[in-house]
Structure 1
Amino acid sequence: MPATVAIAFQPRKTPVQSRSEATVEAILQATLQVLVSVGKEKLTTTLVAQRAGVSVGTLYQYFPNKSALLQATLRRHMDHVIAAVEDTCKSECNRSIFDQATALIDTYLDAKLNDVNNSASLYAIATDVDGMRIARNVGNRAHRSTTALFSTATERLTCEPELITTMVLCCITGVTRRLLEDKPTQKLLPAIREQLLNMVHAYLKTCTR
């Protein structure tokens, strides 16, 4: 990424006190609310500041422009997703790989689709705020954690855990990406989860003895 573009996305300063952290959290939450409400094109720093209950000057203390604000909001969402995935990978060690995969799918779907409108709105702006780089970093973390998880599976694996991770994560992320594009109703999500589980479990049967 060119240096000038990278600078445009960088926050002005990092909050170091609890009050500053609360202010930033309020600003990022307001950004998401405004984004869902009016869309990227109509979102302004003034609208976000009003929704957050802070002055525009306060907002600019932390975020130099709209792009930096949107990128920070996307990063906050992705950090939430990967933190949930990593927690699951730590807690599901030494279990059946089928149980591990089920827990991983449930965690990922809950983190990404608990509020479809929020996730879909963030997905729609990703290409404008260097979202590919953020997604790549998060994806690398998910791959490492999931590989470590599958390495502890109680079954004897006939494939390398790293390869199994690649296939399983491709299934999960591919399905969720399409869902964010289509914005399905909440009532369809249980059926989608069941079908995704069926697909992943069928694959895992070919990788175990």
Structure 2
Amino acid sequence: MDAIFEATIQVLLADGYTGLTTTRVAARAGVSVGTMYQYFPHREALLYAVLEDYLEDVLVAMEEAYQRYRGTPIAEMAAGLSRAYLEAKLRGMPGSRALYVVAAELETTGLVDDIVRRADDVIARLLSTASDVTFDSLAMVTYALRTMMVGTVRAVLEDDGSPEAASMLCTELPVMCQAYLVAVAKPAP
């Protein structure tokens, strides 16, 4: 499956969303078209599966950050979570940029809603373990932090995606997340 997903990204990058066909993906992946149709009855099913796989990788990175940073001070936690999220997004470059187009073209409401719910769960669980602070409204802070990370990364990757922009994100996103969380937190009792 990895070869098919990688071939899908390569065809997306080479031919764009409208130029992607299951025949081109099969040829690039070195599998028969019949094999492609066995797993993916049409190109939208293939693109949906690639997007879902990519988003799952981001969630796994966030869950790993939860395991690593739970119970730490908020500044360390914010930096660790934002770096894990960003590294997961950048691992897939330049395919990450192509998948923004896929997400906009396909009916992904159910998938995105599920991913958002699960990401919010990881963030809320992590923030609730901060060793040095608490939050009046964990749900509001979780929502704000997620949208800050997602929106900032998406804006930079969609607009530029250059190595310089990625480097800037690696430096600045943790600072933004730390500053926000420190500003809205209350000292732990």
Q: 1:148 to 1:43 in 2, by over 3 A?
A: same
Q: Report whether the alignment pairs 1:190 with 2:175.
A: no
Contact 2:7 2:28 in 1 (8 A): yes
Contact 1:116 1:183 in 2 (8 A): no
3-state SS of 1:127 partner = helix
Write the distance in 2 (CA, Å) between the matches of 1:188 and 1:59.
Answer: 36
Q: Report whether the alignment pairs 1:208 with 2:173.
A: no
* Residue 170 of structure 1, CA deviation: 1.4
Write the distance in 1 (CA, Å) between the matches of 2:117 and 2:149.
Answer: 15
Match of 1:80 in 2: 57
Write the distance in 1 (CA, Å) between the matches of 2:52 and 2:133.
Answer: 37
Match of 1:40 in 2: 17
* Residue 131 of structure 1, CA deviation: 2.6
The runs of 4+ residues in structure 1 deviating greater than 3 Å are none
Q: 1:129 to 1:158 in 2, by over 3 A?
A: closer
Gaps of 5+ in 2: none
Q: 1:198 to 1:25 in 2, by over 3 A?
A: closer
TM-score by length of 1: 0.83
TM-score by length of 2: 0.91
Q: Report whether the alignment pairs 1:120 with 2:126.
A: no
* Residue 40 of structure 1, CA deviation: 1.2
Match of 1:94 in 2: 71
Q: 2:128 aligns with which of 141, 151, 173?
A: 151
Q: 1:127 to 1:158 in 2, by over 3 A?
A: closer
Match of 2:41 in 1: 64
Contact 2:156 2:165 in 1 (8 A): no
Task: Indicate the percent of aligned positions where both proteins have the same amino acid.
Answer: 34
Q: Work out the number of aligned pairs and report it.
A: 186
Contact 1:120 1:183 in 2 (8 A): no
What letter corresponds to residue 6 of structure 2 in structure 1?
Q
Q: 2:8 aligns with which of 12, 31, 37?
A: 31
Gaps of 5+ in 1: 1-23
